[in-house]
Amino acid sequence: MSAPAIAIRDVSVAFPGKRAGDEIRVLDNISAQVARGEFVCLVGPSGCGKSTLLNIVGGFIPATAGEVLVEGQPVTGPDPRRIFVFQENGVFPWLSVRENVGFGLRGRSAAERAEIVAHYVEMVGLTGFEAAYPRELSGGMRQRVEIARALAANPDIVYMDEPFGALDFITRLKMRADLVRIWQSEKKTILFVTHDIEEAVQLADRVLVMSQRPATIQRVVEIDLPRPRDLDSPRYLEKRDEIFHIMGMSLRVGEALNV
Amino acid sequence: MNDISEPQMAVTSQARSRHATKATGRPAQDWLSVGLPLGVGALFLLGWHFGVRFSGSDLFPTPLEVALGILELAQRGLLLKYIVASLFRVSWGFALAVLIGVPAGLLLGWYARAFQAFNPLLQIFRPISPIAWIPLAILWFGVTDRAPIFLIFLASVFPISISAIAAVQNMQPVYLRAARNFGLSRSELFRQVILRASLPQIITGVRIALGVAWLVVVAAEMIAVNSGLGYLIIDARNAGKRYDLVVAGMVMIGLIGLVLDLLVRQLEKFDEVRWGYANRR
């Protein structure tokens, strides 16, 4: 078997605390692998450091100890072959939808660029809005622009940091369905951070469940459910409840949290 | 599933809100929005006219005398000549301030060490009124155009560079992270992200600077040169107590200042910067 797309090896992170000698341990000896073309979700309680882990994998912050290998090479910084979709939406407000989606295509001919942009704009359902500016779009549409910008750059891996966190419930459901459809047609490797257990079970091939800080990977749950997923099927509910259990929540509370 | 229903909904609601703002401008309110300022202006002119009449002053001009004064200046060919002279100095001083202030501000905003090194000096120079520099300007440049140009440059360069510094320092980090992710070179980063992200705030600084520049040109021309609207005011007073021409000069300064501000405001309407103003998200 060839090298996994992503290999996280004994990664630990500690930040200096307020007093000298104090340190806040965020991640504790985390190891995990993501196979090529796999859709993996990282879930955990808020503040557990899952975003920190994704930022280390993405090359934006260094690990205190351990290393991350992508395609067998150690990660030393961000790389256009691995595009990050940000929680706070990183679409450039001074560029139109067309210019944003084409941002990662510098160096291509204008014709090639136009073709790729049109393809991805259509894929995320924004045809007709190419000339619009982000301020004219809804939050869900801006997130689609960012996803299209990431995919247009043709990366091997897409990192997503709670990309749908700021959206309303219905928009979030739609975005998840669209993301799975796009992932199936594009065959990218996706590492997706969320605090939403339902979201993880709807999206992922595998869910890495993280513990409270200092976080470890508590359990890996395979979601071997066919897609599109039936959110009422007993097996879906079983998987969902399994993760709730791992995260130490009673079902009653868990269900109440998922209204 | 390709759901475009959500995008469409969002845009129609925006289109609707645009119509709404237009719709609120019903004829009656439109009439008021023009009529109210006109009414206040007319009251002001009436008050001025009768104020002069009742005071019995023979030096202070009535509005009509000021209007005739402007006409007289136009007929003597001085009005256009002095306006051009003032605008010429403002254009040069201001252009130099933009050319130096924007790049310098971007660099100082980006490189923390450079900011640490230069900021104290900047903060000491900034509160010195450009007027205080007039003696030095005359010492260095004599009674030439270069003296007021230098003063206008000094007046404009601080608001411009300081707004550029603040814009870079307050830039949303997510734009930088996205730029790093896409592998931009340093020069691409400056031109395509840092400058573009800072532009709305820089334009605000430019607007403030142009206002200050216009204030300063008048003061500079009163002392350092023999032409321009500032010179007109001081000359009309010294040469024959022609207060009608003094006020005529003041009126022209006000009107041209208004036009300059309206022109810079147009810059804020471009799509590339509009995100940085009102309905900011």
Could you read off the pLDDT of A157-173 as tens digits, one per residue?
999 999 998 888 888 88
- CA A254 → CA A240, A247, A249, B76, B102, distances in Å? 10, 10, 6, 87, 54
Let me know the angle formed at the C-alpha of B268 by B36 and B260, rounded to the nearest 5 degrees. Answer: 65
Whether residue A195 is found in the same domain as residue A212:
yes
CB contact under 8 A, A94 and B196: yes
- pLDDT tens digit string along B9-67? 444 444 434 444 444 445 556 888 899 999 999 999 999 999 999 998 888 999 999 99
The answer to whether residue A83 is domain-embedded is no
- pLDDT tens digit string along A202-211? 999 999 999 8
Q: Residue A23 belongs to a domain with what CATH number?
A: 3.40.50.300
Which percentage of chain A shows pLDDT scores above 90? Answer: 72
Give the separation between CA A196 and CA A105, rounded to whole angstroms: 33
Whether residue A98 is found in the same domain as residue A212:
no
- Claim: this prediction has a pTM higher than 0.80: yes
Whether residue A49 is found in the same domain as residue A165:
yes
Tell me if chain B has a CB within 8 Å of the CB of A236: no
Give me the domain span that covers residue A26: 1-75+158-259
Whether residue A69 is found in the same domain as residue A101:
no
In a mutagenesis test of the B interface, which of A135, A147, A157, A182 is the best target, namely the one with the most B β-carbons within 10 Å? Answer: A135
CB contact under 8 A, B14 and A153: no
Whether residue A4 is found in the same domain as residue A63:
yes
- The single-letter DSSP state of residue A4 is P
Tell me if chain B has a CB within 8 Å of the CB of A99: no
In a mutagenesis test of the A interface, which of B14, B181, B194 is the best target, namely the one with the most A β-carbons within 10 Å? Answer: B181
Whether residue A167 is found in the same domain as residue A239:
yes
d(CA A78, nearest CA chain B) in Å: 5
Report the pLDDT averaged over residues A117-140: 93
Tell me if chain A has a CB within 8 Å of the CB of B7: yes
CB contact under 8 A, B177 and A96: no
- pLDDT tens digit string along B60-100? 999 999 999 999 999 999 999 999 999 999 999 999 999 99
d(CA A87, nearest CA chain B) in Å: 9
User: A138, A154, A170 — which closes off a domain?
Assistant: A154
Domain extents in chain B: 1-57, 60-274
- pLDDT tens digit string along B144-172? 899 999 999 999 999 999 999 999 999 99
Whether residue A169 is found in the same domain as residue A256:
yes
- Residue A138 main-chain phi, psi, to 5 deg: -80, 170
Report the pLDDT averaged over residues B190-195: 94
User: A135, A154, A173 — which closes off a domain?
Assistant: A154
User: A109, A124, A154 — which closes off a domain?
Assistant: A154
CB contact under 8 A, A137 and B197: no
Q: Find the CB nearest A80 among B183, B197, B279.
A: B183
The answer to whether residue A66 is domain-embedded is yes
CB contact under 8 A, A129 and B181: no
Whether residue A164 is found in the same domain as residue A41:
yes
Alpha helices in B170-242 (DSSP H): 173-181, 186-188, 195-224, 229-240
Task: Report how many domains make up chain A.
Answer: 2
Whether residue A163 is found in the same domain as residue A257:
yes
The answer to whether residue A82 is domain-embedded is no
Decide if pLDDT at B281 tops 50.
no
Q: CB neighbours of B133 closer than 8 A, spacing ≥ 6?
A: B150, B151, B154
Give the separation between CA B4 and CA B8, rounded to whole angstroms: 6
DSSP calls for B141-166: H-SSTHHHHHHHHHHHHHHHHHHHHH
A35: burial class by Cβ within 10 Å (0-12, 13-18, 19+)? middle
Whether residue A23 is found in the same domain as residue A130:
no
- The single-letter DSSP state of residue A79 is B
pLDDT score of B18: 41
Q: Chain A partners of B174 at a C-beta cutoff of 8 Å? A: 86, 88-90
Report the pLDDT averaged over residues A43-61: 92
Whether residue A67 is found in the same domain as residue A172:
yes
Question: What CATH class does B60-274 carry?
Answer: mainly alpha
d(CA B268, nearest CA chain A) in Å: 12
The total of other beta-carbon atoms located within 10 Å of residue A109's CB is 9
The answer to whether residue A85 is domain-embedded is no
Q: What pLDDT band is residue B271 in, cutting at 50, 70 and 90? A: confident
Whether residue A145 is found in the same domain as residue A239:
no
Q: Residue A215 in 3-state DSSP?
A: strand
The answer to whether residue A180 is domain-embedded is yes
CB contact under 8 A, A135 and B279: yes
